[in-house]
Structure 1
Amino acid sequence: MESQIGFASQGELLKAIFDAFGILPRKEDPRDLFDEKEKKTLQKRLKRLANEEGGLGSNFGEGVVTLSSLLSIYLPDMTLMSAIGDVLSDVQEAYVALLRTEGTYLSKGETIRYFMSIRAVPLLVMSLHRSVLFYRPDTLWLKTPADRFWYLPSIDAEGQVTLPLEKVMRWAYETCGTSQTQFHFPGKNPTSENARLQNNLDNAVNWTRGSHMPSLPGLLRNFSESFSAMSAAGKEIPNAMKDSILANLVLSRFSSYVSREITKAYGVEYLREICAQFCSYDSYIELDLGEFYREIAPVISTKATKEDQLATRAKAVGDYWSFLTEKIVMAQEELQQAYDPYRGLVSEGVFDALTRKYGAFAVQASVDPTHRKKQFQPPYCFFQMLGLGFELKRDGLIQWEQIENYAADIENHSLGDHLGWLVAWLRAAYCYRKKDYTAAMPHYQQAFDLAKYRAGKSQYDLVNQYVEVAAKNGKNKCFKNGVAWAQYLQIPIRWLRDDEPTDEKLDMVFYMLKVARYDHQL
């Protein structure tokens, strides 16, 4: 993995989702559904996101719309599309919240692992269950493999991984009552010749062996052609079953890609660990959901129409999830109060009492991340130098020589990649206090660029100062880039706050920041 310190960018995040679904256009595949204009538009949009150009929120939003449009080609059921979209939206919002609230001293690779272990796994368990509860009445047509965790990889004692795609493919063959060979090449025998069906069979064998990850268009085309070939050979598969198989292929292709990337980056033991973590959280939330099912069933049974039943269910799911989230927050607060700093734990009696009070999921979702954070230790002197940097920044009488000495100490402790943004911010603030905004601008630019995916909640002050000094220097493009980043992270900008960033409004904010001074907030 890369050694650069910080979170992955939003452009990298969106491209990873495209890659996981396998729907990015491929030059070598003349049969994909993109024309050249669409390919160039998508590639340009992803490039703009990667380069952080233009309106970050709007570019990300357009990328998500494009992703949804492409997926709808292969997964035309809009209810299932909505369920997938809700889960992805929850993950993206959690990632943005992490950028906004937590700084990092980890490399990109380790920061992603931190996000998965600390935030993503419990969030995915909650989000998946909420989607199932909310959309289940409209997705009862969808048949899935009997294995409860078919969408997760299985790992045996020797470390051999069975990917979800293989599970779904073998389930499809079993469900259709045929072998892999006869599924993809019906009637195959030593004398039969059909290059297209033979190619489909060869590809399917490679996919089940995990030696190659198919594009989504190639995967679904293979199975659609196999359904047609079986029909021509007199074996008709019901449309409902075909739809279920294709839908499961979409989902399993996504999870298989993610599983392979995790294994490549962190090894098979981490994959085993994160799957066990997911299953553990799932068992805890099932205990909570028993209460929900017991309470909602009799209420729904009193509703005469399907519309009323769905409306009642939707409201109940929303209310219950607010209740579950509140329980997690309350459990966290009580666990913090009960924490024994000398023994480094919460007593077993307190733990059991809180579990009875708030449920196993709420308590585990509070305790488990705390234990896992211990795996991600900071480099030597990181917090000491971070604290010293903020002390210097608050000192209105600081001298340039002190800043340079601090910068030298940062380098001596090999923390330049970790805290370079704070060094640049110190220099910028020094110039600001001297009213030398021209000299301050390049330092603010460096601090802003370096802090984006590193500084967490410190970005509130930094971004506001950056857009102010950009305005004072007449740098409208820098000003707008700062505002766009602030809006992406939901950071309020002075004079704009929650207002729509129209050109007229931005011109007003630009002018006000050009003439105002905020020395007291440095």
Structure 2
Amino acid sequence: MNMNVGFPTLGELIQFTYDTAGVLPRKRGLEDELDEKEKKSLQKALSRLAKEEGNINENFGDLIKKLAFIVAGYVSDPRANFAIGESLMDLLDVYQAILKDDGTYLDKAGTIKWLINEFIIGRLALSIKKHTLRFNIAARNFSTPGKFWFLPTIENGKVTYPLEKAMVWIYEKCDRTQKQFHCPDDFNSTKYVQQEQNLENAQNWIKNNGLPSLPALIWNFNYSIDRINDTSNSNTNPCIDNHLRENICLILFIARASTFVFRELLSNFELSFVGEICEKFKIQSNDISDDFLEFETSIKNELTGRPYLQSYLDEIWLNETSHFLASYANIQTHLTKSLEAISYEDQCKIFQNPIEVQNLVQRFGKFSIKSIAAQLNSPSSNEIPENFPKLLLNGLDLKNNNNTSQDDIALYEVNLKQSNLELVLPWMLPWIKGAYHYRREEYQLAFPFFKEAFNSAKYCAGKNQYKLVNQFVEVAAKNNKRLEFNKGIRWAQYLGIEIRWLRKDEPTDEKLDFVFAIMQKANYHSL
């Protein structure tokens, strides 16, 4: 499979998600952390998904559920857990939708930059606002180190990561120096050696000398809090209550996750790009807050002073926010349809006119309008490779044409190589060759080409996959390749691609046997 062009694979995505959470590997954790047997089982599940073995949807879902369960051992507040989990699912849904509908001609690094800049930043800003309201996070009265504290601060080329900000805030919140926080016992205490080790680790972390696993980080701070509470008195050294402890654990989880992500970004991309996406997030987050302000204020005014049970208040926030979001989404859908009805040139003219933009903001909100305006007024740095559109369309024509000859295919291959596009369209040539043999009922010759096209297209062909996946599973059936047939079915199920004779039916063994048998005999002339 060609991996030079395309999106990150599903296996890479889920591994990155686990790495971001910081739950594996670990040196030390809480009492309810995974034992070695569970850890090996989890690593095996991650490996299976990376190889795309078995039921992709089920395996992916199981790994996400397992991650949520593990994180809940460190972030105990259920509201925060729900908000974090739902925000993660929103981002995973974006990845799935883009993978299905949008192809890419960029290498993996370029595709990741495009994905972050065009989709992830806005989606994350919206998800954070959406789920903090839905789950009424404000009811917990948690404190934070400040607005946008979870983004790195970049000044004069120096980066201050969120974990450093969080640790400084914790010490200030607890009215202790770093040493007082981690070493509350007397020097002669039998527990002092461990406290000194904890202090040394914390000093390294706050200086960005290594990033701890989540279990090591939480264990360190929980141990210190326990020692503080054991040695505290109400007058001079007050205890740290459970509410503040939960607050600290939540801040540490977010800080560590964000620090990991931005360290990874800075190890792969230029500092200017990271600075740009941070500023873009702030702008879009503020625009979303403005769009939600009237709704949020009305609910707060309605509930202020009412003697409602907390469970009823939570239900109101969940239901009313869901209704508002549905209306908000309908407005965005109407905007999309309105823009599709006019040319790109006319769109540019509209969004270059400040008065027109302000009128649109009044109708559709700041978030969408300002995002579109910024996109139209800032040309993409990702230039389409020369001859890419032409060779893409020519390739599809050759694949669809019953009269395509070997000479036509050979000429197309030459044109691909001369244009240096064989690595940008890795799935096109084998698909054409597979279709050529299919029409001649040379299914054994066709299969290797369809397999190559399928494997090469998964992470870069976008909506062109629909026909290709259907043809791949059909030719796999005609060659009695049940394992490959199943792989195609599972991939289609993950992306939401309907397979002939299966459509939206549950892919039971009985149903798959039926589809396999039909496809062994059926022949479709339209490719």
TM-score of the aligned structures, taking structure 2 as reference length: 0.93
The answer to whether the Cα contact below 8 Å between 2:99 and 2:459 also exists between their aligned partners in 1 is yes
The answer to whether the Cα contact below 8 Å between 1:460 and 1:491 also exists between their aligned partners in 2 is yes
- Give 1:233-244 correspondences, 5 Å limit: 233-234=231-232, 235=237, 236-244=239-247
The answer to whether the Cα contact below 8 Å between 2:28 and 2:215 also exists between their aligned partners in 1 is no
Separation of aligned partners in 1, 2:121 and 2:55? 30
Separation of aligned partners in 1, 2:429 and 2:248? 55
- Give 1:497-516 correspondences, 5 Å limit: 497-516=503-522
- Give 1:56-455 correspondences, 5 Å limit: 56-136=56-136, 140-156=139-155, 158-186=156-184, 194-234=192-232, 235=237, 236-297=239-300, 299-300=302-303, 305-337=309-341, 341=345, 344-346=348-350, 347-348=352-353, 349-370=355-376, 374-455=380-461
Quote the residue 1:10 is aligned against. 10
Separation of aligned partners in 2, 1:394 and 1:173? 67
- How far the C-alpha of 1:298 sits from its partner, in A, is 5.2
Q: Give the aligned residue type for 1:255.
A: S
Q: 1:336 to 1:367 in 2, by over 3 A?
A: farther
Separation of aligned partners in 2, 1:375 and 1:190? 62
Q: Aligned pair 1:477/2:483, yes or no?
A: yes
The answer to whether the Cα contact below 8 Å between 1:338 and 1:350 also exists between their aligned partners in 2 is no
Q: Give the aligned residue type for 1:505.
A: K
Q: Kindly report structure 1 stretches of 4+ aligned residues shifted beyond 6 Å.
A: 188-193
- How far the C-alpha of 1:280 sits from its partner, in A, is 0.3
Alpha-carbon displacement from aligned partner over 1:61-113 (angstroms, at most 9, x marks no partner):
11112211211111222222111110000000010000000000111111111
Alpha-carbon displacement from aligned partner over 1:388-442 (angstroms, at most 9, x marks no partner):
1112112110101211221122122221111120100000000111111111110
Separation of aligned partners in 2, 1:211 and 1:400? 60
Alpha-carbon displacement from aligned partner over 1:194-236 (angstroms, at most 9, x marks no partner):
3211111111111111121110011011101111222233232
The answer to whether the Cα contact below 8 Å between 2:28 and 2:219 also exists between their aligned partners in 1 is no
- How far the C-alpha of 1:370 sits from its partner, in A, is 4.6
- How far the C-alpha of 1:318 sits from its partner, in A, is 1.1
- How far the C-alpha of 1:476 sits from its partner, in A, is 0.8
Separation of aligned partners in 1, 2:29 and 2:177? 30
Q: Give the aligned residue type for 1:253.
A: R
- How far the C-alpha of 1:366 sits from its partner, in A, is 3.0
Q: Aligned pair 1:488/2:487, yes or no?
A: no
Aligned to 1:420, the other structure's residue is in SS state coil
User: Structure 2 unaligned runs (5+)?
Assistant: none
The answer to whether the Cα contact below 8 Å between 2:135 and 2:317 also exists between their aligned partners in 1 is no
- How far the C-alpha of 1:333 sits from its partner, in A, is 3.6
Alpha-carbon displacement from aligned partner over 1:447-492 (angstroms, at most 9, x marks no partner):
0000000100000010011111111111111111000000100111
Separation of aligned partners in 2, 1:82 and 1:279? 23
The answer to whether the Cα contact below 8 Å between 1:49 and 1:56 also exists between their aligned partners in 2 is yes
State percent identity of aligned pairs.
Answer: 34
Quote the residue 1:19 is aligned against. 19
The answer to whether the Cα contact below 8 Å between 1:324 and 1:362 also exists between their aligned partners in 2 is no
The answer to whether the Cα contact below 8 Å between 1:339 and 1:345 also exists between their aligned partners in 2 is no
Separation of aligned partners in 2, 1:330 and 1:365? 16
TM-score of the aligned structures, taking structure 1 as reference length: 0.94
Q: 1:252 to 1:373 in 2, by over 3 A?
A: farther
* Aligned Cα root-mean-square deviation (Å): 2.4
Separation of aligned partners in 1, 2:42 and 2:308? 47
